[in-house]
Structure 1
Amino acid sequence: MHVPDGFIDAPASAAAGAIAAGAIAVSLRGARRELDERTAPLAGLVAAFIFAVQMLNFPVAAGTSGHLLGGALAAILVGPCTGVLCVSVVLLMQGVLFADGGLTALGVNVTDMAITTTVVAYAVFRGLLKILPRRRSSVTAASFAAALVSVPAAAVVFTLIYAVGGTADVPLGKVATAMIGVHVLIGVGEAVITALTVGAVIAVRPDLVYGARGLRQRLKLRVNGELVDAPAASPAAAAPVAAAPAAARASRRRLWITGLVASLVLAGFVSFYASASPDGLEKVARDQGIDKRERPHASSDSPLAGYGVKDVSDARLSGGLAGVIGVGATVVVGSSVFWAVRRRRTAAAEPSSQAA
């Protein structure tokens, strides 16, 4: 759903840019509360993983494909404010390095793909957790529903932006029907990917899933063939668990390495087998004529434009190298941003602790 240059006029693009800048400023402040020693390293990895999976377009209808937007996944794993930053970093890398999504439309894309998907998904997710049973399977189910809703919500927001500043004379009803219709189907794929990923992380390290914090199940014991609640653990019994930070750090490190390797494999190898059909927005733009005033991308001469390495003739090698470079650049930039945010939180906390 990357909006190119020329789809939206300058005033609407500027307004969307102002909204995006304000939301990012708010998210930077909110991320200080969300990021801790557990989630800060994971946030950069989440951004890189979203970048990698966005390269895996999957077919959704005749001649149309879709890909992960990632707002729901990021919000549930690392928090809504940090999630906005994760997807924004991905969009920035894609626009600057790979000429994917217009630079003048960056504010539109951040508003649509980062802010809308994250806010809508996390609101749906938290609402469902309030009524579902308090167990891990509920987190996975709520993740599925939240991701499913977030994609057509982004299609609705694009339609509204187009209604305000669209450069082509296409009836709004046709745009809305086409955009929402195809993105409902794409939302199913988004929901599956999000639920599988959240389920995989929560199975090995539930404490690293931001959306599952505070979710505790009473331990069950089987007595005479029946399951009964186990007695609450005493503080003394819980002390050894709390006294093993080294083991926790090692576990986080293994998860981080596993996630990075998976991202590199997805972007560097699996992406070659992704669908070559246009994604939902591209298909609607061609069919409805929204792309009449599309302009060439400012970074179209980038060495990585089009997710390929310039002067590398082998398509498989070119695309794979571009994917690996993209994952590496995203994890470095993302980790740097979140490290800086985390450092500011620590610096702000020091005067308070000294005063206390």
Structure 2
Amino acid sequence: MDRLPRWADLTLVPLVSLLFAAVISALVLLVIGQSPVEAFKVMVDGALGSPYGWGYTLYYATSFIFTGLAVTVAFHAGLFNIGGEGQAQLGGLGVALVCLSLPWPHWTVALIAATAGAALFGAAWAAIPAYLQAKRGSHIVITTIMFNYIAAALLVYMLVDVLKPVGQADPASARFPVGAQLPALNDIPGFNLIFERPVPANVTLLIALAMAVVVWALLWRTRLGYQIRAFGKSEAAAKYAGINPVRITIIAMLISGGLAGMMSINNVMGEAERLLQNSSEGAGFIGIAVALMGRNHPFGVVLAALLFGFLYQGGAELGLWTSIPIEMRIVVQGLVILFTGALDMMVRMILERAFGLVRSAKAMRAA
């Protein structure tokens, strides 16, 4: 069978998968008696048609960049980390404990400390499944899924019995001190020329983009990154080359968990300014789709995160301004995951057949 050119594999496969998901979504809308054109217009206007809409799209995309990078690092080591949701929740706990511990003099100091706390708590929550995989042979998918539920239960306990202020009804921590509140994009010089109204997108976006560069440099420009990718390609060959599988498994999962935990800087410290029960907002699971659609490359993860940010904000606008249920965004997300993940080979085969026909036609004309 003809192989796809690299450019086609990196761009056409996800684009065609997205097109298939859009077509099926349009058919679903028609079945329930709604207009796909009107729905698309509302989504575009609400998510991209104004600086305010962009503010929400970038806010969601920021979280998805972190969790997408977390899945990407683990994937390159041959590990499927499904525990981003739990690791992000524990990262939020780390952020809250740091922010509530001191009267921080300035948000920059608090941000550095909270980033370290988020990464440490997320990495610690990933360390146990990593150890069980490396030393006991427990499957990483099963253990990380189980740890998501344990993390959720632990967070409820911390909020209800430890962090909730006396006399407060809702399970949430106290609000962070002023010195631990991050500036939104509308508060940053330069960005405030674009975002004139308050938006949830905040300085964490810049950290997420910086981490995408760091992950790229780690995986493709360092010895450790080479060992991670070699181990992910073939464990037997990596062991023959002297790469320690236990060391690589644990290191890759620690990095993955740390990245997932850092997601909580965005919504716990940057937007809510306190720890809430659903602190991860489902971003841990969306990160899997983001990594798949981004072809497990940091640049692709950023683009895919922007797409899912658009779907999140656009879906919210559908629920607000039309009679289309907001759950339609879940349908669209599911279809994107279906075509970029489970049906990736089908899309690839269609494109390979198309490229094969083009090559045959060129060969016949040349003859």
State the TM-score bracket (shorter-chain normalisation).
Answer: 0.3 to 0.5
- The structure that is strand-richer by fraction is 1
Q: TM-score, with normalisation over the residues of structure 2?
A: 0.34
Q: TM-score, with normalisation over the residues of structure 1?
A: 0.34
